[in-house]
Amino acid sequence: MNPVEVGLQNRCRHHCRSGLCRQKANRQGQTGHRQNPEFRPAHNCSQQKRQNRHCPRPEWRLLGQHEVETDARGEADRQPKRPAAPFSRQSCEHLGCQLGNAADGHSPGWLSARVVCVTMHGGDRPHGPAPVGCIPHEPVLNHRSTHKNHREKIVRPMTVVTRFAPSPTGFLHIGGGRTALFNWLFAKHHGGKFLLRIEDTDRARSTQAAVDAILDGLKWLELEWDGEAVSQFARKDRHAEVVRQMLERGQAYRCYATPEELEAMREEQKAKKLPLRYDGRWRDRDPSEAPAGVNPVIRLKAPQTGETVIRDHVQGEVRVQNAELDDMILLRSDGTPTYLLAVVVDDYDMGVTHVVRGDDHLTNTFRQLQIYHAMGWTPPEYAHVPLIHGPDGAKLSKRHGALGIDAYRDMGFLPETMRNYLLRLGWGHGDAEIISTEQAIAWFSLDAIGRSPSRLDFPKMENLNAHYIRECEDTRLTTLVLPFIEKKLGRALDGGERDLLHRAIPGFKPRVKTLVELADGAMFLFAKRPLTLDDKAAGQLTPEARAQLTVLAARFGALSEWTAAALEGVVRDYAEQAGLKLGKVAQPLRAALTGSTVSPPIFEVAEILGKSETLARIGDVGSAN
RNA sequence: GUCCCCAUCGUCUAGAGGCCUAGGACACCAGCCUUUCACGUUGGUAACACGGGUUCGAAUCCCGUUGGGGACGCCA
């Protein structure tokens, strides 16, 4: 079959998203596609082919040779999308599964699809003439399929080196946290290195406070980096040196256009609805025309024809015409490097093998690739991770998600919660939801990262946090919640109070979603008598209830053993004698002891509070008042 | 405006042409458990954006439409 024949006959029904075929299809629609003489049919494309894979459903292989499942109801005309139960089984006539031939009045369509092709197919071996309906399909993997599982796995033996490269112009936000996590996990998974580089070439906006915030954030997330954090600015001489080489080789040139001039150019382009790009006005101009007293920037002399292709672990193959890209600035007029240049040089010098970053950098990658090409360097592999949106689907803003990672800490989230939640945002492993960091390292792969942007969902984050709080060991949880309590209390806890907290922790674990809730709930432990009652608690303390409490207090006082079980025994006996439900007595007791209607099991609370404090708190609200 | 990317329950996702009557999780609703609130447990509501095409068969492959997002700085 020659290409023209195929092209005229039909649209290409295979994966024509490569080469000319794709461009024409995109620009001119189907017609252009069909008529394009240079159309490349499927067989010229370099897809992987799955050979001889008939009847891929596993259970067919379990049914035995030459068996066919048929629909006993035999609806001849309608072609049910799915066969309706119950089935009867019939033997297949011969290797070709001819029974599919509507012998029983079934449409061959789905019937033949249920042909059992085990033995005759001999596992993966090809067999003779295709049985009816059992068309030997040769599903071809599109080398740029939309499906993440279709992405070709790029395997290159090497020691993996990843890096996280934040710019210190603000805090570490949640998207940055996830990027760092992915880089860290990928490096750990491969036993490689995870480096940290601070992209501080913008001197005006970079601050030490931001650097500290980022470092603190990473430490809190427990994402340790290898070696010292690299300052990009400190490497500016090396960057300039690389540009000098490009200049010497004619791969870069000086541009004397002023910022104002360029701004005017962009305005004009905008007005004329033209693409916004540098027009190359100094690309081929003689340096002798340079105006006096203007410090030039240095631009890359980028190729103007052909295309630049990114083979991305997440995005697949992405290509752009070089004509779409303008000559980027490498060195500013003050001699400092721009981001585009510095990133390439540093990644190269640091031996970075995999660049994992937000997909807002995808278009930068084309330009960075051009620098790699100009320098003759092998570029790293890329994985551009979709961005995280706020709960409303819009870009993250200060209002919702774009908080510093420290804000999540202050909201009472645990670092393991954040790691688990962030991991699941855009990455999945079957039905797994609760994923330990160890498991994440074992499972993580770039190719399983989804391509669509995801939204932040606080309820789910809280649910995960509740899980990790329940899992958290009591002593650690006590330590974690202590700052929250002390802040609320406005003072430090003494040793006895810490012990009280520690003993109360198990009662709170299943009841709270965040450390803040835990701290709130535990405040009554440290409250000064007499307790301030909330409205509902006050409502519980009717005169009758107060009278009951006074009786109970007397019986409690007589107890020789101060345990939750003993206290419960007393209260149950009392309730039974008085003909009351347990709750009728327990709720006022809860109000008296905690000042609230919500708390851990009240007898445990009383045990932890101790005899004298319990009796005193009851006394405060007793009928004697 | 130009280029690029994306599209399954409200949300995160599973999904590799027939295992899909589309699965799981969060959230929500109802029942059970129960001294409160939770936890736990049982069940329920809920999605393949739309239109074409390819195929015996499409959530899945192709094209288009619509909708969202990103980039287009002497920011990173």
A231 touches strand B (CB under 7 A): no
User: Nucleotides of chain B within 7 Å of a protein C-beta?
Assistant: 1-8, 10-21, 23-28, 34-39, 53-57, 60-64, 68-76
The tens digit of pLDDT for each residue in A122-171 reads 222 222 222 222 222 222 222 333 445 445 444 455 799 999 999 998 88
Nearest residue, CA→C1' of B21: A82
| C-alpha–C-alpha distance, residues A177 and A164, integer Å | 9
The predicted structure's pLDDT at residue A99: 28
The two beta strands, A67-71 and A87-91, are antiparallel
Indicate whether A465 pLDDT > 90.
yes
More confident residue, A362 or A2: A362
* Protein chain A, residues 438-477, with a C-beta closer than 7 Å to any atom of nucleic acid strand B: 448, 450-455, 457, 459-460, 462-463, 466, 470
| C-alpha–C-alpha distance, residues A7 and A36, integer Å | 8
User: Token digits for A56?
Assistant: 């891929």
Q: 10 Å Cβ neighbour count for A392?
A: 11
Q: What are phi and psi of A341, to 5 degrees?
A: -75, -45
Under DSSP, is residue A438 helix (H, G, I), strand (E, B) or coil? helix
Quickly state the pLDDT bin for A403 (edges 50, 70, 90).
confident
When mean pLDDT is compared across A47-61, A259-273, A371-385, A583-597, the lowest value belongs to A47-61
A142 touches strand B (CB under 7 A): yes
* Protein chain A, residues 397-416, with a C-beta closer than 7 Å to any atom of nucleic acid strand B: none
| C-alpha–C-alpha distance, residues A368 and A557, integer Å | 78
The tens digit of pLDDT for each residue in A255-291 reads 999 999 999 999 999 888 888 899 888 998 888 888 8
A108 touches strand B (CB under 7 A): yes
Structural contact between residues A404 and A175, judged by C-beta atoms closer than 8 angstroms: no
User: Token digits for A18?
Assistant: 């490569």
Amino acid symbol at A28: Q
The predicted structure's pLDDT at residue A57: 21
Indicate whether A27 pLDDT > 60.
no
Nearest nucleotide to A258, CA against C1' atoms: B74
* Protein chain A, residues 149-168, with a C-beta closer than 7 Å to any atom of nucleic acid strand B: 149-150, 165-167
Quickly state the pLDDT bin for A390 (edges 50, 70, 90).
confident
The predicted structure's pLDDT at residue A297: 95
DSSP A284: S
| C-alpha–C-alpha distance, residues A152 and A48, integer Å | 9
CA dist A104 to A60, A63, A65, A70, A107, Å?
20, 20, 20, 9, 9
User: Token digits for A230?
Assistant: 């690299």
A320 touches strand B (CB under 7 A): yes
The tens digit of pLDDT for each residue in A212-257 reads 999 999 999 999 999 999 999 999 999 999 999 999 999 999 999 9
Indicate whether A383 pLDDT > 50.
yes
User: Token digits for A562?
Assistant: 């101060």
User: What DSSP letter does each residue of A460-504 carry, written as one string?
Assistant: HHHHHHHHHHHHS-HHHHHHHHHHHHHHHHTS---HHHHHHHHHH
Nearest nucleotide to A259, CA against C1' atoms: B74
The pLDDT of A376-394, averaged and rounded, is 88
* Interatomic distance A198 CA / B60 C1' (Å): 42
Nearest residue, CA→C1' of B54: A13
Nearest to A197 by CA among A177, A241, A167: A167
More confident residue, A398 or A201: A201
Indicate whether A532 pLDDT > 60.
yes
The pLDDT of A382-403, averaged and rounded, is 75
Nearest residue, CA→C1' of B2: A275
* Protein chain A, residues 249-288, with a C-beta closer than 7 Å to any atom of nucleic acid strand B: 257-259, 262, 266, 273-278
Nearest residue, CA→C1' of B59: A147
Query: Complex ipTM, two decimals?
Result: 0.95
Indicate whether A179 pLDDT > 60.
yes
The predicted structure's pLDDT at residue A291: 86
Rounded to the nearest 10°, the torsion over CA A551, A552, A554, A559 is: 150
The predicted structure's pLDDT at residue A286: 85
Under DSSP, is residue A270 helix (H, G, I), strand (E, B) or coil? helix
* Interatomic distance A564 CA / B34 C1' (Å): 17
| C-alpha–C-alpha distance, residues A565 and A603, integer Å | 7
The predicted structure's pLDDT at residue A399: 53
Burial of A24 from C-beta contacts in 10 A (0-12 / 13-18 / 19+): buried
The tens digit of pLDDT for each residue in A83-137 reads 222 222 222 222 222 223 222 222 222 222 222 222 222 222 222 222 222 222 2
Structural contact between residues A585 and A575, judged by C-beta atoms closer than 8 angstroms: yes
Quickly state the pLDDT bin for A622 (edges 50, 70, 90).
confident
A236-245: long-range contacts, CB 8 A cutoff, minimum separation 24: A236/A201, A236/A335, A236/A336, A236/A337, A236/A342, A238/A345, A238/A349, A239/A331, A239/A337, A239/A341, A239/A342, A239/A345, A240/A331, A240/A335, A240/A337, A242/A341, A242/A345, A242/A375, A243/A298, A243/A330, A243/A331, A243/A337, A243/A341, A245/A375
Q: Indicate which residues of A carry an active-site annotation.
A: 398
Structural contact between residues A188 and A156, judged by C-beta atoms closer than 8 angstroms: no
* Interatomic distance A139 CA / B71 C1' (Å): 35
Quickly state the pLDDT bin for A17 (edges 50, 70, 90).
very low
| C-alpha–C-alpha distance, residues A597 and A587, integer Å | 7
Nearest nucleotide to A148, CA against C1' atoms: B16
The predicted structure's pLDDT at residue A431: 92
Instruction: Report whether the peptide linkage leading into residue A530 is cis, meaning its omega lies within 30 degrees of zero.
Output: yes
Quickly state the pLDDT bin for A496 (edges 50, 70, 90).
very high
Q: 10 Å Cβ neighbour count for A183?
A: 28
Query: What number of residues does chain A have?
Result: 625
Nearest to A372 by CA among A319, A322, A308: A308
Nearest nucleotide to A278, CA against C1' atoms: B72
The predicted structure's pLDDT at residue A616: 95
Under DSSP, is residue A205 helix (H, G, I), strand (E, B) or coil? coil
Indicate whether A76 pLDDT > 80.
no
A137 touches strand B (CB under 7 A): yes
The predicted structure's pLDDT at residue A311: 92
With residue A119 as reference, give the H or E element that holds it.
Answer: helix A118-121
Sequence-separated (6 or more) residues with CB below 8 Å from residue A575: A581, A582, A584, A585
* Protein chain A, residues 28-87, with a C-beta closer than 7 Å to any atom of nucleic acid strand B: 29-30, 33, 55-59, 79, 81-82, 85
Please give the angle made by the CA atoms of A412, A415 and A421, to the nearest 5 degrees: 95
The predicted structure's pLDDT at residue A389: 86
HSE-CB at A269 with a 13 A cutoff on CA atoms is 12
* Protein chain A, residues 365-404, with a C-beta closer than 7 Å to any atom of nucleic acid strand B: 386-387, 389, 393-395
* Interatomic distance A516 CA / B71 C1' (Å): 40
